[in-house]
Amino acid sequence: MIWYRSYTLEEINELFAVNMTGYLGIRATSISSDSMIAEMPVTDKVKQPFGLLHGGASVVLAESIGSVASNMLIDTDKFAAVGLEINANHIRPVTKGTVYATCKLLHQGKTTHVWDIQIKNEKDALICISRLTIAVIKKPTV
């Protein structure tokens, strides 16, 4: 088990229900001992003008799941996990249905985490692969 703190799917989906993730319909569907899965419906909200899943929406899905996963690895009373860098390769188009992001840890250091996030369609075909680097910083005082 890699998690410092265990969240329930309900707790994660409360986080996802607001802001951009809520608008795009992103929901966590599974948490295992070393990975997390989230889904996003392919609606007009996440398509580019030509009717295909927008690459930026795939990146939002990837960064969202990776950021939540990193916050599950740290003491959030003392630290915050924030996106440092993300890249994405868009492999094939999607026009309908649901896409599923699987987030797996590649590296867990004291100040950085690196995640591999694979997004697949309903037929389990790879549509996007992303690598997310997270910076672990001291929690800012407000």
Domains in the chain and their CATH numbers?
Answer: 9-138 (3.10.129.10)
Average pLDDT (66-91) is 97
Residue-wise pLDDT tens digits, 89-134: 999 999 999 999 999 999 999 999 999 999 999 999 999 999 999 9
Active site positions, annotated: 63
Sheet order of strands, 112-120 included: 27-31, 35-41, 98-108, 112-120, 126-138, 79-90
> If you ran DSSP here, which 8-state letter would residue 85 be given?
E
Using an 8 Å Cβ cutoff, are 38 and 15 in contact? Answer: no
Better-scored residue on pLDDT, 116 or 5: 116
